[in-house]
Structure 1
């Protein structure tokens, strides 16, 4: 029988080693210091995040409006290239090809005649009718033997707005050259009257007048007449006028009226300084 066989010396089972309380205390303090350092660092950014998330109410926050949204970039305007004819001034030759209208006012026509040396009166109301406006020129030569005295009468008539109604010329016993052609001084009157309205389709009229031949041309409501009087062969009458336009022309003219569109500049005809001046009023 072994020695010390009493119960007091019996073998006890081996247990797990116990961790001292001091260790746990030190561990807790260390972890707390680390957590506190993390939470308090960077101006307590992480602590504020936790406070906002769990809504502890540890801090008061200033509500800031959201930053303004960036404005979208303006879309560049699209460039449009217009054809040249859309910005060019109207061409009188083209316009007169489909629409007959006076492209010169009465006052401008009278001024063009005066610039060419034909001393017409100013564009003013007629003495017999205040609604009719006109300018005129009259010149009479000396009587020679049994011949009628040479004379010229020019008149341009229209209304107060300056729209021409007709132009007339009467020449009596006109001067001619050795070929029987009209004197250039007198022919200049017809050149101005035919060129200023820019009705260039009446191309035969001036040549006929130059040779003192009767002619009558009509086109798009305009009428040109130059004729010798039957009973008085030394007297010639010239008339340039616009007839009453039919419905389609009236509607077209109203559409292109100055009430709707900006008025186009009046055409001008350059005078040739080399040509002699026509007879002036005495």
Structure 2
């Protein structure tokens, strides 16, 4: 009669052996490669297993400044060694060395990437714009104001240059053609069919006689009216030079005023007032605010 071994004892031995073998495999996996897997597990679940373990300090990296300091200190160390006492039992104290500052690791030196608003970005040159001026009065309104002031420029109508140009003009002449003492005044206002102004030109001949002085008064009144209607107040600084018949040119924000004497006749003058946008930034801004390119109608200008 045979007696079978107890099954409970054999199962216990099996599970104990399995746990021991599994523990050895797990410990090998965690401790391999300088405990890299164990560190990752500790950092992932915040177990704090390695917080108390002392790590060996890494040797300080030698910087370029430390190398230059060591090279400069070699002659002094050699001189000290030559002047050391002959007694072998007496040793000279070594001069204190300045500990080299350990270099920052690449991970610590790398700046952290943080998101920020593009509002604080520096302006990009190809996308820059500029402030530009525009006419604050329509062609129809300016022609009406000139007519009320005594210059019969007529209505804002199509020009003989083509359907895309509208204008109003006025001319007065005192004296016969070819007469050197004759005085004359001519003004023309040009723009687009929608009433947007383009430029204003005045040509005046003012000889030193009664007719010339009368034409001069008409010219000054017209200039004051134009500078008032455009509301470009800084251009009013040219009134003093114009009253003294001195050449003057003012430019600001894509607008230009010029008053100059003609070369052939020292009593003949020209005044030009208009928009002149030459820089790429001014041209780009003018294109953006060009009403002909807008898909929605713009509100009417105030009269």
Scaled to the shorter chain, the TM-score interval is 0.5 to 0.7
* Maintained 8 Å contact 2:166/2:193: yes
Asked if 1:262 corresponds to 2:295, the answer is no
Asked if 1:132 corresponds to 2:169, the answer is no
* Maintained 8 Å contact 1:182/1:211: no
Distance 1:244 1:115, change over 3 A: same
Distance 1:176 1:210, change over 3 A: farther
Query: Cα RMSD between the aligned structures?
Result: 3.0
1:142 deviates by 2.1
1:219 deviates by 1.0
- Match for residue 210 of structure 1? 243
5+ unaligned residues in a row in structure 2: which ranges? Answer: 1-129
- Match for residue 37 of structure 1? none
Runs of 4+ in 1 over 6 A off after TM superposition: none
- The 3-state SS of whatever aligns with 1:202 is helix
* Maintained 8 Å contact 1:214/1:226: yes
**TM-score normalized by structure 2?**
0.49
Encode CA deviations 1:104-133: one digit per residue, 9 max, x unaligned: 111111111111111102111112322111
Distance 1:153 1:181, change over 3 A: closer
| Aligned with 2:274 (options 241, 250, 274) | 241
More RCO (CA 8 Å, sep 6+): 1
CA distance in structure 2 between the partners assigned to 1:142 and 1:250 by the alignment: 44
**TM-score normalized by structure 1?**
0.52
- Match for residue 35 of structure 1? none
1:256 deviates by 5.6
* Maintained 8 Å contact 2:173/2:185: yes
- The 3-state SS of whatever aligns with 1:204 is helix
Question: Which structure features the higher share of helix residues?
Answer: 2
> Aligned residues, how many?
168
The structure with more radius of gyration: 1
* Maintained 8 Å contact 2:174/2:183: yes
| Aligned with 1:194 (options 227, 232, 244) | 227
- Match for residue 108 of structure 2? none
5+ unaligned residues in a row in structure 1: which ranges? Answer: 1-96, 267-282
